[in-house]
Amino acid sequence: MATIFTRIINGEIPCYKIAEDDRFFAFLDINPLMEGHTLVVPKQEVDYIFDLDDETLSGLILFSKKLAKAIREAIPCNRIGVAVIGLEVPHVHVHLVPMNSMGDVNFARPKLKFTPEEFSKTAEKIRSKVRL
Ligand code: 5GP
């Protein structure tokens, strides 16, 4: 069965999309740690990041780099934290989290709540800075 992220990529489940190319897809995490918390996913459905072939893994990092630059331009923050956890969804995803302090990337803390309008506005702010 397709993962939830494949279904998002295929447009079967809505998301606040940020960017995509032929191999990768980026969208806002629905339970964000910070405004602008973005997930970057390879379209190839693989569970564990270090099972990706070298070309896809390096492409994922380079795509994430472009997204991190856009997020940092759109959302005032010190830097973009990067995490790969993957315990919830068995489809590789890189978390890009705007951060100002260590606590901002504490995945154990309660997530933020935003309205659909706020999510849309955040996505638009980031999209306007993306240069693939
Ligand atoms: P992890 O697998 O890295 O532990 O966490 C999966 C992440 O995916 C979580 O931060 C969760 O909020 C996010 N997530 C799970 N389902 C959805 C979804 O349907 N839409 C979006 N945008 N994010 C999701």
Q: How much distance in Å is there from the Cα of 76 to the middle of ligand 1?
A: 23
Q: How much distance in Å is there from the Cα of 8 to the middle of ligand 1?
A: 11
User: Looking at the whole model, is its pTM more than 0.85?
Assistant: yes
Mean pLDDT, rounded, for 109-132: 98
Give per-residue pLDDT as tens, 63-108. Answer: 999 999 999 999 999 999 999 999 999 999 999 999 999 999 999 9
| 116-127 vs 54-74: helix crossing angle, rounded to 10 | 110
Task: Give the three-state DSSP class for 40.
Answer: strand
Q: Does residue 1 register a pLDDT over 90? A: no
Measured from the Cα of 16, ligand 1's closest atom is 22
User: Does the beta carbon of 40 lie inside 6 Å of ligand 1?
Assistant: no
Banded pLDDT at 115 (limits 50, 70, 90)? very high
Q: Which tokens in the block code for residue 115?
A: 């309205």
- DSSP E strands, the chain: 17-20, 24-28, 38-42, 79-83, 94-99
Max CA distance (Å), the chain: 39
User: Does the beta carbon of 15 lie inside 6 Å of ligand 1?
Assistant: yes
Domains by residue range for the chain, with CATH:
4-127 (3.30.428.10)
